[in-house]
Amino acid sequence: MNLESDYLIIEMAQETYKHEGILELESDEKLQDFEIAYTTQGHLTTAKDNVIWVIHALTGDANVQDWWGGLMGEDKFYDPAKYFIVCANLLGSCYGSTNPLSNHPETGETYYYDFPQLTTRDLSKSLDLLREHLGISQIHTLIGGSLGGQVALEWAYLLEAKVNNTVILASNAKTSAWTIGFNETQRMAIEADSTWGSKHPEAGKKGLEAARAMAMMSYRHPEDFALKQTDQVEKLDNFRIASYLRYQGQKLANRFNAFSYWVLSKTMDSHDLGRGRGGTAQALSQIQSKVLAIGVDRDLLFLKEESQFIAQHAQKGSFREIKSSYGHDAFLIEYGQLQYILSSFYLESNTL
């Protein structure tokens, strides 16, 4: 893609970056000749100072308007008429980027269980290769939530002065034992599927359904379930919440796969900004951009105190709170609060 022109089409463009070479991973493994699917929308100014780079969560994709449409798009807060919006599908995910169901470039065989371990640091390095490929020297705002927030924080550290603003939603600087525990129980559900271990694209599918149901219990708050999933009639079985969780499990299993879920949940577990850098507080203090950490008051998965920790130790950090009965998923839903928080942040820093 040529980014040298003053104006590009506003329609979303979907492309694939093919990296010919080896990505050295933290695990000492290597990923060779990988691909990253990505989308762009809007126009790049002559000064190239209007890039908004979005990083998706665990099961998201590069089509940012599909899952963050209340924030990104025409006449929305991040309007492609004003900004050049980039979103890439993370390595390991099954929406166009190299993942466990891709073929190994040397053997021609599907990776399956031999796909290398990825960390959030590895993912940030791969995104930086894409940035260089696109000729983007400066990012106005780097923004991501949950796993996407973890990757964004790692990348902000790596980018140094190449990013002006970093917005981290419902995330943390180091994955807690609590969150790792949630992820491990989900992988145990996948392992319990009798098909897991076979070399087939749908291996672990029923286990993935159970894993997603478990995850929903951490993505939402008990108050949200009480409001929306409580039965209005007396019964002994077939409860509304049971049907809801089964539906959510089936819905994900029909669009995702257990291999990518396994790899990316392990990636989330690996997250530790301070690894080899003197600890999380020290690493946060080295981030040069302004950092806005947004927590959710009822988040059970990434506690708001973890967002506060980011703000307290980043040299230009600030914290804002979303108040919502949704829990963790509020960062994908509470657009009104998000727009207010982001507007205030940009006005205070004079970077809107």
Has residue 73 been placed in a domain? yes
284 and 197, same domain (yes or no) = no
In the chain the beta strands, taken as DSSP E runs, fall at 13-18, 22-24, 30-32, 35-41, 51-55, 84-88, 139-145, 163-169, 290-296, 317-322
| Residues 299 and 156 both lie in one domain | yes
Query: Do 27 and 140 share a domain, yes or no?
Result: yes
DSSP 117: P
Query: Of the residues 216, 236, 268, which one is the last residue of a structural domain?
Result: 268
1 pLDDT tier (thresholds 50, 70, 90): very low
Could you tell me if 79 and 171 lie in one domain? yes
Whether 39 maps to a domain, the answer reads yes
Listed residue (218, 212, 215) closest to 251, CA to CA: 212
Cα angle 60, 171, 35; round to 5: 35
- CATH number where 263 lies: 1.10.1740.110
How confident is the model at residue 4, as a pLDDT?
42
Q: Which of 174, 158, 175 is nearest to 166 (CA)?
A: 158
- The pLDDT of residue 68: 98
Is 1 part of a structural domain of the chain? no
Residue 267 in contact with residue 142, Cβ under 8 Å? no
Q: How far is CA 231 from CA 67, 176, 221, 225, in A?
A: 29, 34, 17, 11
Q: Tell me the CA distances in angstroms from 30 to 115, 128, 152, 178, 268, one per residue in order.
A: 10, 17, 22, 30, 19
CA atoms of 43 and 51, how far apart (whole Å): 9
Pair (170, 286) in one structural domain: yes
50/155 same-domain check:
yes
Q: pLDDT class for 170, splitting at 50, 70, 90?
A: very high
**Is residue 330 one of the residues assigned to a domain?**
yes
Which tokens sit at 315?
A: 């040299």
Inside any domain, residue 3: no
Residues 301, 158 share a domain: yes
pLDDT of residue 46: 92
SS3 state of residue 72 = strand
Distance CA 244, CA 216 (A): 10
What contacts 91, CB < 8 A, 6 or more positions away?
31, 34, 36, 97, 98, 99, 118, 122, 123, 126
Predicted local distance difference test score (pLDDT) of residue 277: 98
**Summary mean pLDDT of the chain:** 95
Domain final position from 233, 268, 303: 268
Indicate whether 87 pLDDT > 70.
Answer: yes
Domain end (from 242, 268, 294): 268
Classify residue 35 by burial, with Cβ atoms within 10 Å: 0-12, 13-18, 19+.
middle
Considering the domain boundaries, does residue 115 fall inside one? yes
What is the residue range of 225's domain?
A: 178-268
Do 156 and 297 lie in a common domain? yes
Kindly indicate the confidence band of residue 8, based on its pLDDT and cuts at 50, 70 and 90. Answer: very low
pLDDT score at 6: 39
Domain count, the chain: 2
- Residue 13 pLDDT: 85
Same domain, 259 and 278: no
- Residue 7 counted as domain residue: no
Distance CA 148, CA 11 (A): 24
- pLDDT, tens only, 23-54: 999 999 999 999 999 999 999 999 999 999 99
Residues making up the chain, counted from first to last: 352
Residue 89 has pLDDT above 90, yes or no: yes
Residues 187 and 246 occupy one common structural domain: yes
Cα gap 185→178, rounded to integer Å: 11
Same domain, 140 and 194: no
Is 58 among the domain residues? yes
What CATH number does the domain containing 132 carry? 3.40.50.1820
pLDDT tens-digit map of 291-344: 999 999 999 999 999 999 999 999 999 999 999 999 999 999 999 999 999 999
CA 290, 296, 300 angle in degrees (round to 5)?
Answer: 125
Read off the pLDDT of residues 141-159 as tens digits, 9 standing for 90 and up. Answer: 999 999 999 999 999 999 9
Residue 333 CA to residue 257 CA, distance in Å, equals 24
**Model confidence over 206-233: pLDDT tens digits?**
999 999 999 999 999 999 999 999 999 9
Read out DSSP for 165-220?
A: EEEEES--SB--HHHHHHHHHHHHHHHHSTTBTBSSTTTTHHHHHHHHHHHHHHHS
In this model, does residue 131 exceed pLDDT 80? Answer: yes
- pLDDT of 185 > 90? The answer is yes
- Express each pLDDT in 270-282 by its tens digit: 999 999 999 999 9
Which residues are known catalytic residues?
Answer: 146, 299, 328
Q: Are residues 55 and 70 in the same domain?
A: yes
Q: Residue 258 pLDDT more than 70?
A: yes
Tell me what pLDDT residue 352 has.
Answer: 63
